[in-house]
Amino acid sequence: MTEKEWINYLKKYLFEKPPVVKTYNEDCTVIQKGKREFLLFTTDALVEGVHFKLDYYSFFDLGVKLANSNLSDIAACGGKPEWALLTLGSPIPIDLTWAEPFIQGLTQSLAKFGAFLVGGDTVRSPFFFFSLTLFGKTKNPLLRKGAKEGDFIFVSRPLGGSSAFLRMIKTYPLKDIPENLKTAHLYPEPEIALGKALSNEALATSAIDLSDGLLIDLWRICEENGVGAELNQEAIPVEKGATFEEALSGGEDYALLFTVSPSKVNQIDKVEKKLKRKIFCIGRVLSEKNLYLITSEGKKIKIKPEGFDHFKK
C-alpha cells in the first residue's frame, strides 16, 4: 500500500462532520469553534535513518526542523500556531548533552511564531524519533479545496534546495556544501506571515505546503478540485545549486503553493509590498485533469505528478 492508498483507506474511519470542517487530505484538521474561529491540528515526525542522519544533523538542527515542518502546515492553512506536544523516542538514556540542544532548537523555533511547548511523552525506541503535534487557530482557514479553472498558481520561494542538499551530502562533507542549500534543508522557514496575509485578505482559493515536491503537491490540489494545471518552466524559481528536476520533484522545500482567482491576482502586489518579498506566479489551473509543462522552447508537454512517497516501491 502506498502512502496515498493508505490515506484513502483511512478516509472511512475519519470523523468529518460538524464541527469538523476538514480532516482528510489536508495539511491540518480544521474544527470550527465559533462563527469566526477555527482550530487547527497537525502532527509531523522525524525518524532517524528516514528523515535524518546524525552525521550531518546536530540535535539543535533536529529541534528546528521538527518545529518548522509542523509550523509549515499551520502556515498552509493561514493560521497562528499556539501550543505543541512532543513525543521523543530514544535508543539511549536521556542525556542533556544532546537533549538540551534539541529542546532549545525546538522551543526557540516555536517561540519565534508565538507557539509554546506544553507537554508530551517520552519512550525508549530502537532509534531516535521525534514527533510534534501542533495546535493553532485562524478566522479563515485556507484549504486545498477551492481552486478553479483560470486561477493563477503561485509559489512563495525558490525550490529544490533541500533535495540538492541531500544529493550533495552523499559526495561532499557538510562544510563544503553551499550555505543556501544547508539552510534550505536544515532550517526551512515556515511561511506563517504569508499564510496569515492570504487568509486575512481571503486571497487564496486553495493552498498547500510543499513537503513532498511541487508536482505531487500541486496534483493533490488538482485532485481535490477535479482540475489540472499547466506550469511555465521559465517562471518556476529554482534555488541556486539545485537542478530543475529537484525543483519539480524534490521534497521538504516547505514553501507555500497557492492559487488566486483572476479577479484578485492584482492584490498579490500589495502582499509583496507588505511582506517586502517576491512571490512567484508559475502557472494556471486548467479544466482538463492533467499536468502540463510549458518548456522554455514553448512546447507543451504532459508530465507525471512525481514526488516523495514513504511507501512507494
CA dist 29 and 39 (Å) reads: 8
Task: Give the model confidence (pLDDT) of 142-163 as tens digits.
Answer: 999 999 999 999 999 999 999 9
Q: Helices 59-76 and 96-111, interaxial angle, to 10°?
A: 30
| CB neighbour class for 91 (10 Å; exposed up to 12, middle 13-18, buried from 19) | exposed
CA dist 123 and 128 (Å) reads: 10
Task: Give the model confidence (pLDDT) of 115-138 as tens digits.
Answer: 999 999 999 999 999 999 999 999
CA dist 296 and 293 (Å) reads: 9
> pLDDT above 70 covers what percent of the chain?
98
Task: Give the model confidence (pLDDT) of 166-185 as tens digits.
Answer: 999 999 999 999 999 999 99
| The three three-digit cell numbers of residue 290, written as one number | 492533467
Are 4 and 25 within 8 A, CB to CB? no
| The three three-digit cell numbers of residue 107, written as one number | 522551543
**Mean pLDDT throughout 41-57?**
95
Task: Please enumerate in sequence order all residues whose Cβ is within 8 A of that of 277, keeping only pairs 6 or more positions apart, or say none.
Answer: none
Task: Give the model confidence (pLDDT) of 250-265 as tens digits.
Answer: 999 999 999 999 999 9
Confidence of residue 306 (pLDDT cuts 50, 70, 90): confident
Q: Which domains does the chain have, with CATH numbers?
A: 3-138 (3.30.1330.10), 152-303 (3.90.650.10)
CA dist 109 and 189 (Å) reads: 10
Confidence of residue 4 (pLDDT cuts 50, 70, 90): confident
CA-wise closest residue to 27 among 192, 148, 172, 149: 192
CA dist 274 and 12 (Å) reads: 42
Confidence of residue 308 (pLDDT cuts 50, 70, 90): low
Residue 312 pLDDT greater than 60, yes or no = no
Per-residue pLDDT, 311: 44
Per-residue pLDDT, 35: 87
Per-residue pLDDT, 313: 52
CA separation (Å) from 283 to 235, 244, 259, 280, 295? Answer: 8, 16, 9, 9, 12
Per-residue pLDDT, 109: 98
Report pTM: 0.95
